[in-house]
Each structure stands twice: as structure tokens, then as C-alpha cells.
Amino acid sequence: MAQHGDVAVRTDRCKGCGLCASFCPKQVLAVDPGKLSERGFPLCQVIQPDACIGCGFCYSVCPDLAISLTVEKDR
């Protein structure tokens, strides 16, 4: 049984460290240096939402709890 995930970035918490993007095996996330948070940090963005497999690496490595992940099992 496969699974897929729905990942989102809380921009109020993201500081653009890029850990989530670097650990994602499907390149779902990327840091956009052109888009800044209210605090002046580059923001991480979901760039390929349909590619998310729900592995949870992004959620696990985020030091600021800026990632939310919902995982669903495919049938």
C-alpha cells in the first residue's frame, strides 16, 4: 500500500535554513531567496506538492516546527 502526503510551510516560523528541502527525496520543497518572510528570511516553499510521498523527513529535520504534514494511505 502506497502513501502520499500533503506538506505545508508555516511562513511565520520558517527561517529559510533549507534543511527540509535538502532532506526531501522527491524535491517537493525549495528555498526561494526572492520571497522573504516578515522577519526578512528567505522562505521555503512547496514546489511539487503532488510528488510528496509522506516520508516525514522534512517535518523531522525542521528546527523551527515550520512544516506540517498530513499523510494518507492510498488503496
CATH number at residue 66: 3.30.70.20
Identify the three-state secondary structure at position 10: coil
Count of positions (residues) in the chain: 75
- pLDDT tens readout for residues 4-59: 899 999 999 999 999 999 999 999 999 999 999 888 999 999 999 999 999 999 99
Q: Write down the pLDDT at residue 74.
A: 73
CA distance 22 to 45: 13
Q: Which three cell numbers stand for residue 59?
A: 517535518
For the chain, the domain total comes to 1
CA distance 56 to 70: 9
- Quote the domain boundaries for residue 31: 3-73
pTM over 0.85: yes
Does an H or E element contain 23, and which? helix 19-23
Q: Write down the pLDDT at residue 75.
A: 60
| Closest to 32 (Cα-Cα) out of 23, 41, 20 | 41
